[in-house]
Structures are given as C-alpha cells and as structure tokens.
Structure 1
C-alpha cells in the first residue's frame, strides 16, 4: 500500500540522512514518477527538505541548557567572539543576543565608549566591570535555560531604539528555513533586533549549518556578516558571498 511505502521511505531517509531519488527507486522497486509523487507528499509535511537530485532529513534541534552549551567548544566560541569584537567601533549602539558565544563578546572588547542593548544575563553581569559601557537591559521574565530576559515587554522596549549592529546567536541555520532558534520566548526580541539594526552579524559555528529549529527569526539573506569556524560547508559560504555578504572563518 502507498501509505505504508511512504512511511517506510521516511524511515529510510531518517536513517540515511539524505538519499537520491535513484536510490529510493532501487530500494523500494518503484518507478521514478512514483517516487517523485511520494517525495512531494513527504516534503509537504515539513520534516524533510529537497536537495539536488534527492531528499534529506532535516533534524529539528531542541533547546540545550545554557551551562551545557557553554561548556561545548568554548575556545572556538571565544575565537568567534574575538573576531566579532573587531567590528565594534567607538560610540556604537549594539544589540547583543542571548547565547553562549555572544556572552564572550564583551571580554574581547578594548576599553571604549559603547552602548549595549541586551537581554543576556551573562553579558549584563560582565558589563559591571566596564566603566565606559552603557548597558540598556530589556525587561521580561528570566528564562533560566537561556539565562536571558524574554517576553513581549522587552520586544516593545527594543522598538524604541536605533541599533547600529546586532550580534545574533541561533540554534541552526539553513537555506530553506533561514536562521532559527529553539526558544519560543526569545522569538519576538530576536526578530525586532534584526529589523531595527543597520547591520546584522551571525555568530555560529559550522555544526549549526543545515539545522532547522523551532522558529525562524530571520532569513539567511538578512545576515550581513557570518562569523563561523573552518567546518562550515562551502555551499553556505558560496551562497552568502553570491549575495554580497561577508563570511569569516576563524
């Protein structure tokens, strides 16, 4: 039966991660037209994505607590934050997103006059030591998993400000689903920050490529500068650079 075959195809794709249409025809012993119809039906469910000549399983990532995320690849995160800090200039008004990489950003800055708008609790605590840095803290409810203040009140406050540069974090990014995040509560603040900023920096390692999380808060084309590591799939660098964006690997 067709319904049983479609379920078997989905299970096969989940196991293999990505497969060609020719491979599916061979494994399930059906014609190319039949496989195309089955694949169209599977793609409509949103769990899989179309790739050149085939189909791939796009695994959804859940939210990992802040402390656990912060321990992973900490040196890599510091390198990314260090590079991001070189784009910050005297007198800038910047938004710093919640996240384990963005939390390192302040540590990498020279002594300069600066305004930071943020909901990032880690960053707020570190900013106490910087006399020239003015910190505007967005209101909201403290999310203990992300160590960030979230909610509509913070997004409403953010609407009032002009932002030169936004330094954003994510759970994943992909060509089909854009830049996404696992925390429902953070969605509005992230979306407003991107819309209000003249320039958007995405701080994300290569492992986050091809990952789709719960909510997309901006298209990948909105990113002006991607600061990542050397594991980034060249396909993403090619796409961004073709859109006249900057990709920096550290």
Structure 2
C-alpha cells in the first residue's frame, strides 16, 4: 500500500480510514440523515441547559431546532455562532483561539484545559471515526485533548454519528465508547455495538426516517 499516512491541516489521518474533509464538502454528504440526527439530538435539550456543541456539519443543524429554547451554548464553531446570532434566547459563548479556516472553528494549544471549568448539562460531540476497539477518534492531537477534557466532565455525553463512519478510525482516540451516554445515528448497528451498548449502559437512538 502506497503511503500509510496522509497529512492535513490540523492533523494526520490514516489512509483508507477516516480523513479530514473540507467543511463545505462534508456539508453536502448525507445531508438528510444529518438533519434527522441533529433534530433528534436537539430534542434532548431542555430550557435552561448549558450545552457544548462540537464543530461539525451535523451539529450545525441543531440550531434550527434549538431556536425557540432558552439555552446557553458553548462552541468553537464559527458557523454555529453565526447561525445562532438572530435568536436572542440562545446565549452563545465562543471559545477563543486561532480560526482554522478549513473547519471554520477556533482552537488553541494553551487553553485546552479551560473547558474543565464549565459545568455543562449536556455535550454534543462529533468524530472522524468510531469502533468498539478504537473508541471515538479524531484527526488532530490538539482537538483530541480538548474533546477528552469535555467528555471527562459530569455532563451527559451525546455522540452524533452518521452510518458512514462506523468501523473507521483516525489517529487520535479522545474517549472510549463506554464514556458515551447516548449514541444517535441514522442506521441500525450490528450486534457488536448493541452488545457493547447494553453492557455499558449506552442508549442507542436510531432516528426516525418517516
């Protein structure tokens, strides 16, 4: 096989596994399924919640379904900030740092542990790939440390996954699957995931396509 690794802005991905895609390219893939996943995730948010929304196309869709709720949102996503701007009931706190233009998100090396100070009620996380053996992975070491800090808190952890990234993995694991409370996806999972979820008290939520 020619070349085990591919280098991208912000991280390294393993060939034939999860790769970092440009934001606009990812936005067009599986849009309907992502819309349903985001809608389902937003249904778990209650008035008064303090939530973290990870930076990705699938989480951007959540704002459409949160716009009538009283919620505090912490995010590193420029697009989520802009999307939430018209809705005064959405209190938005932006993380600081350098703007990564490919993903339209802010990140910084020096502030990664600052996320530990927030008392989130719920966190909505995204990923580059997931498997029972490798856990939940992403392509950047810096983002991996930030995500790891966020999911280590006491908040309920929601993982938003479209079916195309199961059994794929990127370079960095930011948590094991057992740390997840809710796994929201658009297709039924095989027995290995169902068994793992049962043993580790993970609720698998399959979105309604009707």
Q: With structure 2 as the length reference, what TM-score do the two structures score?
A: 0.87
1:176 lines up with 2:133 in the alignment: yes
- Structure 2 residue aligned with 1:69: 26
Decide whether the 8 Å contact of 1:158 with 1:193 is kept in 2. Answer: yes
Instruction: Give the one of 20, 26, 36 matched to 1:79.
Output: 36
**Which stretch shifts more, 166-175 or 226-235?**
226-235
Decide whether the 8 Å contact of 1:59 with 1:212 is kept in 2. Answer: no
Q: Which has the higher helix share?
A: 1
How far apart are 1:89 and its partner, in Å? 0.5
Alignment deviations for residues 197-246 of structure 1 (CA, whole Å, 9 cap, x no partner): 42100000122111110110010110100000115334212311232210
Looking at structure 1, the residues matched to 199 and 150 of structure 2 have their Cα atoms a distance apart, in angstroms, of 25
Root-mean-square deviation (CA, aligned residues, Å) is 1.7
Instruction: Give the one of 58, 80, 91 matched to 1:123.
Output: 80
Instruction: Give the one of 187, 190, 209 matched to 1:230.
Output: 187
Query: Which sections of structure 2, spanning at least 5 residues, go unmatched?
Result: 2-14
Equivalences for residues 151-230 of structure 1 within 5 A: 151-230=108-187
**Which stretch shifts more, 78-87 or 105-114?**
105-114
Alignment deviations for residues 12-32 of structure 1 (CA, whole Å, 9 cap, x no partner): xxxxxxxxxxxxxxxxxxxxx
Query: Which sections of structure 1, spanning at least 5 residues, go unmatched?
Result: 1-10, 12-57
Alignment deviations for residues 68-121 of structure 1 (CA, whole Å, 9 cap, x no partner): 011101111010000000100010010000111011111112512111111011
SS at the partner of 2:169?
A: coil
SS at the partner of 1:173?
A: strand
- Structure 1 residue aligned with 2:58: 101
Looking at structure 2, the residues matched to 230 and 116 of structure 1 have their Cα atoms a distance apart, in angstroms, of 28
Looking at structure 1, the residues matched to 139 and 133 of structure 2 have their Cα atoms a distance apart, in angstroms, of 17
Q: With structure 1 as the length reference, what TM-score do the two structures score?
A: 0.73
Decide whether the 8 Å contact of 1:202 with 1:225 is kept in 2. Answer: yes
SS at the partner of 2:57?
A: coil
SS at the partner of 2:68?
A: coil
Looking at structure 2, the residues matched to 184 and 122 of structure 1 have their Cα atoms a distance apart, in angstroms, of 22
- Structure 2 residue aligned with 1:136: 93
How far apart are 1:153 and its partner, in Å? 3.8
